[in-house]
Amino acid sequence: MDNAMGRYLNEHVLSPPETLPLERRRSFQIFVRIYLFVTAIHIVFVPIFIWVDILALNVLNLLCIIANFLTIGLHRRGWLVLALLLKLFFVFVLVVVAGMLLGNDVGFEYYFFIFLLEIVISDLQQRYKIILSGLLLGAFLIMLQWLFGLWGSWPLGDLARRMLLAFNLMTTFVLITFIALQVYIVSEVTERRFRSDAYKDSLTGVFNRRAIIERADMLWRQQRPFAVLLLDADHFKQVNDSYGHGAGDKVLHHIAQLLQRALRERDCIGRVGGEEFLILLPDTNFEEGVGIAARLRAELASQPCRLDKRILQVTLSMGLAWSYEKRALNDVIDLADRRLYLAKFSGRDLVIAEGGESFGITARYEMYVSPSSTGEA
């Protein structure tokens, strides 16, 4: 039952709608949690206002609970600013009326700090934040100077007044802490997701070109020995032409995920072109690098990509180069690239780990261009 309720809240309340722009999802997640928590606070106040025995406060508190549910509904429909203003209005009225009926020294003025905090972290434009903050400050000063106790005074004893003051102070502290935590948690999760999206290839789930090159540069700066393995799916254009680009995307995803699972923990893989991947193999000597390349080819051969009832057997051409072979990182990658195209030139489904220096730019260019006329890549 609890799991079902949790799934419902996550899917239908806490998760932002798909139609909501990405730049507003952070604010959505923060405020929907605030509204739920504030609703719980209002429910806690139900017995307190019953204890105080003032009908107006009980009615206003009930209206705040109803308004919070309306606020969540508006919030989920993307009306983030309207939802905030609705919630602030009802709670503001409750706080002001409570101060006018119960007098000062009961702590309801502390909630003005919550109003201000919500305005500051909201999606309101800056000028509206300044205007609302100024109005809120003015209302706070008016309440302190003239409105406290205008309609009555604390009806119970001094001990009860101090207890309510302490409760309001504690509630304010809890609310500020909760809001600050939500801002931190949601911002941290959002930032991690953005960082991940910035460094991951959206199709295959492995690193993108920028990320894998940055990691290669880091290894190079650390003067840590490593191997660069460049590989390319053979005849991949035929897959797209025969089965469509959707099938080609599935094949690339299958290859990337299979290779990633087959690599060692310290290795990393990135997609650097259409069907071309770059793998970094830190602390890897010649025999180990060739062995890893052979194992990857064997893994792909034993686990072909399955599309419905079709089995697409895709092979890989590979070029291997080591960091000690050249004096610059770009030259090491270029050497691996030359060996990759030498593998294609030599018949494909091969690993080339030596030579390639004489495989010039002209030959590379010809091998890169000519397949377009034959339907091969």
CA 22 vs CA 27, 123, 148, 193: distances in Å: 10, 13, 44, 12
Q: Going by C-beta distance under 8 Å and a sequence separation of 6 or more, which residues neighbour residue 40?
A: none
Measured from the Cβ of residue 280, the count of other Cβ atoms closer than 10 Å reads: 23
Active site (annotated) includes residue 109: no
**Residue closest to 119 by CA, chosen among 85, 148, 96, 150:** 85
CA 190 vs CA 27, 81, 169, 312: distances in Å: 10, 21, 31, 37
Catalytic residue among 18, 275, 276, 325: 275
Asked if residues 251 and 312 have their Cβ atoms less than 8 Å apart, the reply is yes
CA–CA distance, 115 with 131 (Å, rounded to integer): 13
Place of tokens 């959505």: 28
Asked if residues 180 and 33 have their Cβ atoms less than 8 Å apart, the reply is no
HSE-up of residue 151 (Cα within 13 Å, Cβ side): 11
**Residue closest to 22 by CA, chosen among 177, 190, 239, 274:** 190
Q: In 157-174, which positions are buried (b, 16+ CB within 10 angstroms) versus exposed (e)?
A: eeeebeebbeebeebbee
Asked if residues 108 and 165 have their Cβ atoms less than 8 Å apart, the reply is no
Which stretches within the chain are classed as H helix?
A: 2-9, 22-52, 55-76, 80-102, 111-121, 126-142, 158-199, 209-221, 236-243, 245-262, 286-302, 329-345, 361-369, 371-374
Asked if residues 320 and 338 have their Cβ atoms less than 8 Å apart, the reply is no
Using alpha carbons only, give the angle 4, 5, 6 rounded to the nearest 5 degrees. 90
Residue 325 per-residue DSSP state: G
Q: Going by C-beta distance under 8 Å and a sequence separation of 6 or more, which residues neighbour residue 147?
A: 96, 99, 100
Catalytic amino acids?
A: 275
